[in-house]
Chains A and B, each alone.
Chain A
Amino acid sequence: MNFDPVPFRVSIELGLWVTAILFVLCLPAAWIFARSTRPWLVWIESLGSMPLVLSPTVLGFYLLLLLSPKGPLGAFFLSVFGIRLAFSFPAIVIGSCVSSLPFMLGALKTGIVAIPSHILDASATLGKGRLETVFRVAIPNMRPAIFSGLVNTFAHTLGEFGVVLMIGGSIPGVTKVVSIAVYERVESLDFAGAQAYAIVLVGASYAGVLALNIAQRRAGRR
């Protein structure tokens, strides 16, 4: 059995990128979905939840069409930045962002809904603008939700398989993540090799979920 740690590096890099990007994008979106009463928003919000119910291969297939050199996004990146998106690291970042979106969006929205609106009103009557209120009142009061969004998104991205395989392939050191490494070892009947990768994923996932539950218990006691 030869154990190659590189897929772990790719997985962790992917997880960090996706978690950071989704946090920044989802915070304002979750705020709008949680606080706005515009009826048409439910149409957009439902689109954001699609990756939960859609087969990753279907998602991956459409993303591949979008990111290929002839697809709208792929063509744009190729002509403007000279980057070929399909089967690249940025492609799996984009794909994983789409497939992990509901985990971050849902957690943040739950956190925002749970903030008592009186404390936001209080901040406004104390002369604080909306942005200051978000950073000094809203975010500190939704820490468990933020933590849950970060951990779930990171863990889900680590476990992502279908979308990554469809748009990233399995290029060692670039797009070959741990879950794909497990698949390939099993394909070649190297069960011991598969075990080495799989057991680390199991351990990491358990640690993440455990940390989440401990944090939620602590928050509940306050």
Chain B
Amino acid sequence: MPSFSIRKRLVASDGIFELEVAASFPEGGFLGIRGPSGSGKTTLLRTIAGLCRPECGHIRVDGETWYDSERGIFLQPQRRSVGFVFQDYALFPHLTVFGNIQYATGDRGRTEELLELTRLTDHARYFPRELSGGQKQRTALARALGRRPRLLLLDEPLSALDEGLRQALGEELRRIRREQGVTAILVSHSKTEIESLCTDILELPTCPSGELRLAAPAFA
């Protein structure tokens, strides 16, 4: 059962505040974390991926400890089995769709399988600048799944898309996650997005600067 408990100091435009959040949810589950912008959602995902270092706490996934402040454990992001879909997709501009996915998989067969899964086979030779928002999003998802991660992290994956596309891609996201059987965490400011996709939900309260945020356990 993936679980984390994190305390991290955040510098926001209106001062410093502390993000304190803990949750555990079942393996194969889909945890949605909702909160207004500036509440530390992205920082939380970056911390789980190992791109940020928290002040204290722990992160455990599949019985493996990625971070434990008391035992002095901090695994570098390279050693954590995560797939990260960034809010702006962070596709490599110099590589085609195929190249982006191949960079993660290192295996042609797996790349072709993911292209098919995300319905991108016809766009394999396109560069990111030639793709629509939805196609970029699917490329980012395929790339994030490339290494068969234990934990998929999604940062506002649908928020940059228009309404119609959002629904279609939400559906696709649910199907792909089910087919790949991957445990996932999604952060978003949209209630409907989270309620339609996720199996467990965690609310991050708005936090005025200086106030200590209390841990909100997810209901598993």
Residues of chain A having any CB pair with chain B under 8 Å: 116, 118-119, 121-129, 136-137, 140-141, 222
Q: How far is the CB of A115 from chain B (nearest CB, A)?
A: 10
Report the separation of the CA atoms of residues A118 and B129 in the bound assembly, to the nearest whole angstrom: 16
* A122 and B78 form a contact (CB under 8 A): no
A222 to B128, CA, bound (A): 11
Residue of B nearest to A143 (CB): B94
Q: How far is the CB of B201 from chain A (nearest CB, A)?
A: 24
- The verdict on B164 contacting chain A, using a C-beta distance below 8 Å, is no
B86 touches A124 (CB 8 A): no
Q: Write the chain A residue with the least CB distance to B52.
A: A121
Would A119 and B77 count as touching, CB distance under 8 A? no
Nearest chain A CB to B42 CB, angstrom units: 11
Contact A119 B78 (CB under 8 A): no
Q: Which of B79, B80, B94 contacts A140 (CB 8 A)?
A: B94
Where the two chains meet, the residues of B that have a C-beta atom closer than 8 Å to any C-beta of A are: 46, 49-51, 76-80, 82-84, 86, 88, 90-94, 103-104, 129, 143-144, 146-147
A121 touches B104 (CB 8 A): no
Contact call A222/B88, Cβ cutoff below 8 A: no
Q: How far is the CA of A126 from the CA of B102 in the complex (A)?
A: 11
Q: Is the CB of B147 within 8 A of A127?
A: yes
- Docked CA distance A146–B12 (Å): 35
Contact status A122-B92, CB under 8 Å: yes
Q: Tell me how far the C-beta of B134 lies from the nearest C-beta in chain A, rounded to whole angstroms.
A: 19
The answer to whether B146 and A125 have CB atoms under 8 Å apart is: no
Supposing A125-B77, A125-B82, A126-B143 touch, asked if A119 and B92 sit within 8 A by C-beta, the answer is yes
Chain A residues near B93: list those with CB within 8 A.
119, 141
Sample 12 A-B pairs with CB under 8 A, ordered by A number: A116-B88, A118-B86, A118-B90, A119-B92, A121-B49, A121-B51, A121-B90, A122-B143, A125-B49, A126-B146, A126-B147, A222-B129
Would you give the shortest CB distance from A163 to chain B, in whole angstroms?
37
Query: Roughly how many angstroms separate A137 CA and B88 CA in the complex, as a whole number?
Result: 17
Q: A127-B78, A127-B147, A222-B129 are in contact. Are A122 and B94 (CB under 8 A)?
A: no
Chain B residues with CB below 8 A from A125, complex form: 49-51, 77, 80, 82-84, 144
Q: Which residues of B contact A118 (CB under 8 A)?
A: 86, 88, 90
B46 to chain A, nearest CB (A): 8
Which residues of chain B come closer than 8 Å to A222, judged between CB atoms? 129
B143 neighbours in A (Cβ, 8 Å): 122, 126
> Which one, B78, B84, B94, contacts A129 given CB within 8 A?
B78
